Homo-oligomer: A and B are copies of this chain.
Amino acid sequence: MKALKDRILRDGKHLGNGILKVDGFMNHQIDPVLMKEVGEEFAARFAKTGATRILTAETSGIAPALSAGMAMRIPVVFARKHKPKTMGGEPLRQTAPSHTHGGEVELLVSNEYLEASDKVLIIDDFLSTARTINALVKMVADSGAELVGIGAVIEKSFQGGREAIGKIDVPVESLAVIDSFDGETIVLREDKVAN
């Protein structure tokens, strides 16, 4: 996705240790025009999955998941990191890494919004170690729903996420793949076909 890759090269910043700062357009400030394109690209790539719901995790997954949901016209559920007063019953629970605190956080999804009859598309901002995505994958399994796809805006291929997801029979799509950092230089994977 050219607009995204151009933006990563222009505004992304490698802070060291494989941490990419994309706060200017995705994780603190959002560029809604770019985010709309991101959603449309996900919709195109997952058009054949028959997804009935999108699942993501707060906070940074919400923007790309909502944008994809707008394009696909299906509901978007975001796993919460804290149980709000409004969440009744016994929610689905999984543990995921905290990207702000370090350590771990619990992700919670009310079973009101993931049903066994659902075909679920998981969308998140990053595919890096895949620990958050794998927690969402487990939630889908726990709900009895069917996983039909996994999409990430940016993949950092050198952090082993695809291997960590393991062999699953659904498409795993990322819209920009970073193969490495060379100091401050962001090395993006080139598409096989120009786009």
Name the interface residues of A1-44: CB closer than 8 Å to any CB of B: 15, 19, 21-24, 27-33, 35-36
Would B113 and A24 count as touching, CB distance under 8 A?
yes
Q: Which of B27, B35, B75, B110 is A32 in contact with, Cβ under 8 Å?
A: B75
Known: A32-B69, A35-B66. A27 touches B76 (CB 8 A): no
Which range contains the number of A residues in contact with the other chain?
35 or more
Rounded to whole angstroms, the CA-CA distance of A87 and B13 in the bound complex is: 12
Q: How far is the CA of A99 from the CA of B17 in the complex (A)?
A: 34
Say yes or no: is A58 at the interface (Cβ < 8 Å to chain B): yes
The residue from B27, B36, B69, B82 contacting A101, defined by CB atoms under 8 A apart: B82
Contact of A29 among B24, B30, B67, B77 (CB under 8 A): B77
Q: State whether B73 touches A100 (Cβ < 8 A).
A: no
A190 contacts chain B at the CB level, 8 A cutoff: no
A67 proximity list for chain B (CB < 8 A): 66, 70
Q: How far is the CB of A89 from chain B (nearest CB, A)?
A: 12
Are A29's CB and B75's CB within 8 A? yes
Residues of B within 8 A of A70 (CB): 32-33, 35-36, 67
Q: Which of B29, B33, B35, B86 contacts A23 (CB 8 A)?
A: B86
Distance between Cα atoms of A17 and B37 in the complex (Å): 41
CB-CB under 8 A from A27, the residues of chain B are: 84, 86
Q: Taking beta carbons and an 8 Å cutoff, which residues of A are in contact with B?
A: 15, 19, 21-24, 27-33, 35-36, 58-59, 62-63, 66-67, 69-70, 73-78, 80, 82-87, 99-101, 109-110, 112-113
